[in-house]
């Protein structure tokens, strides 16, 4: 197939590579150098040019304004679309704005899926992402074989916007788990126990989780190179709190996690992996989980 991909970042590049490796003709647009592993792709001058060349256009961008600009700016995707084409936004953005974007694309005679992902850089490289999809059933079935090249757990949740709502829910759960693991390991460490042995013991009980397994190890080994940056997770929690305000829901624990991430950002740690949320807890305790 003729596929467009816009957003070749930490996750976008390996996702696009899976499509290219499957034999599809890939059209890309990036402001930076095209990664070596995507050397077989055709580089386009604008998002509109990508849309003119491709039948399905994937987006993997940082935030809502980025998606809006790529879609609807003067040289945006919308200006290169023709009836029958499909846009698949795999970014994590506002569910409310997503519904508006989808309607504008539908008005052009084109289909739209919101299909945000979870799994980080590791999942993107392994092709094992969890993909949460919102949109029409027929469009989902058409695009699903391509999504299957990038992910394993692929679910059509509902209509446009529902994929993004699911991703926000995912980010709430992950953030609160990171905070919980950080507090637990910090408590154990300051009490004099070996945090690595505590983590190993907990992995065999009801407290076991992927966050404890992966991010607990990061907290102990101090390996905070980004798989998913604090700044991006902070953005996602902002979407959660804005959405909660709009629908009249209180999310006190989400607000607490957002403040811990804000403390990290204020100390210049916004580009670290989101497991570095523990650093804000360590500041409050005047104690680090581990040396390093």
Q: How is 132-166 classified by DSSP, letter by letter?
A: EEES-HHHHHHHHHHHTTTEEEEEEEESTTHHHHH
Catalytic, 167? Answer yes
Catalytic residue among 85, 167, 235, 279: 167
Sign of the CA dihedral with 269 first, then 270, 271, and 273 last = positive
Q: Which two tokens stand for residue 252?
A: 């006190």
CA distance 249 to 255: 12
Report residue 264 CA to chain centroid gap.
Answer: 19
CA dihedral 66, 20, 13, 111 (to 10 degrees): 20
DSSP assignment letter at 213: I
Q: Provide the CB-side half-sphere exposure for 188 (13 A, CA).
A: 21
Q: Provide the CB-side half-sphere exposure for 160 (13 A, CA).
A: 20
Give the residue numbers marked as catalytic: 167
């Amino acid at each position: 197939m003729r596929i467009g991909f816009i957003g070749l970042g930490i996750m976008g590049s390996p996702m696009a590579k899976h499509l290219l490796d499957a034999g599809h003709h890939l059209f890309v647009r990036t402001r930076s150098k095209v990664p070596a592993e995507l050397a077989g792709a055709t580089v386009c001058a604008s998002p509109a040019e990508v849309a003119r060349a491709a039948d399905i256009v994937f987006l993997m961008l940082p935030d809502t304004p980025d998606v809006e600009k790529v879609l609807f700016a003067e040289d945006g995707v919308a200006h290169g679309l023709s009836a029958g084409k499909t846009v698949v936004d795999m970014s994590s953005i506002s569910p409310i704005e997503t519904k508006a974007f989808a309607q504008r694309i539908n008005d052009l005679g084109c289909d739209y899926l919101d299909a945000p992902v979870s799994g980080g850089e590791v999942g993107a490289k392994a092709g094992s992402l969890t993909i949460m999809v919102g949109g029409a059933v027929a469009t989902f079935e058409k695009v699903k074989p391509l999504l299957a090249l990038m992910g394993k757990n692929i679910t059509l949740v509902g209509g446009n916007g529902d994929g993004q709502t699911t991703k926000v829910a995912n980010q709430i759960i992950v953030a609160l788990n990171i905070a919980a693991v950080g507090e637990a390991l910090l408590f154990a460490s300051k009490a004099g126990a070996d945090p690595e042995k505590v983590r190993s013991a907990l992995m065999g009980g009801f407290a076991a989780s992927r966050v404890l397994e992966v991010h607990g190890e990061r907290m102990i080994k101090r390996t905070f190179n980004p798989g998913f940056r604090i700044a991006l997770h902070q953005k996602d929690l902002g979407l959660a709190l804005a959405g909660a305000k709009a629908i009249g829901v209180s999310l006190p624990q989400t607000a607490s996690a957002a403040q811990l991430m804000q403390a990290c950002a204020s100390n210049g740690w916004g580009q670290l992996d989101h497991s570095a949320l523990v650093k804000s807890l360590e500041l409050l305790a005047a104690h680090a989980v581990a040396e390093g």
